[in-house]
Amino acid sequence: MSNNNPPRRVIMRIELLPEAKEGLTGLCDRLGMTQIAATSRIIEWFTTQSDVVQAAILGLYPHDIRAEVAEMILKRMASEAKKRS
């Protein structure tokens, strides 16, 4: 007997500033997606990123080196893309 149950999902609540909620609503309206679907995809993508990229997205690097960190990340991504092609 095969098990055709969909993968188990976890339900979470998040807190957003009103501006972020408006931005999410606008994004979902433009793309024709539910807010749950968009948020889930964003979180799934974020968790697959490297620690360096996650830290940059979360603003964990000092402001005065953020440009250098972004440049380093882009160079690393380009190098990895060349290796795959």
Ordered by start, the domain boundaries in the chain are 8-48, 50-85
CATH 1.10.1220 applies to domain 8-48: yes
Contact 56, 66 (CB under 8 A): yes
- For 26-83, what is each residue's pLDDT tens digit? 999 999 999 999 999 999 999 999 999 999 999 999 999 999 999 999 999 899 888 8
Q: Which amino acid is at 48?
A: T
In a 3-state reduction of DSSP, which class is residue 73? helix
- Distance CA(52)–CA(72), nearest Å, equals 10
- Between residues 78 and 5, the one the model is more confident about: 78
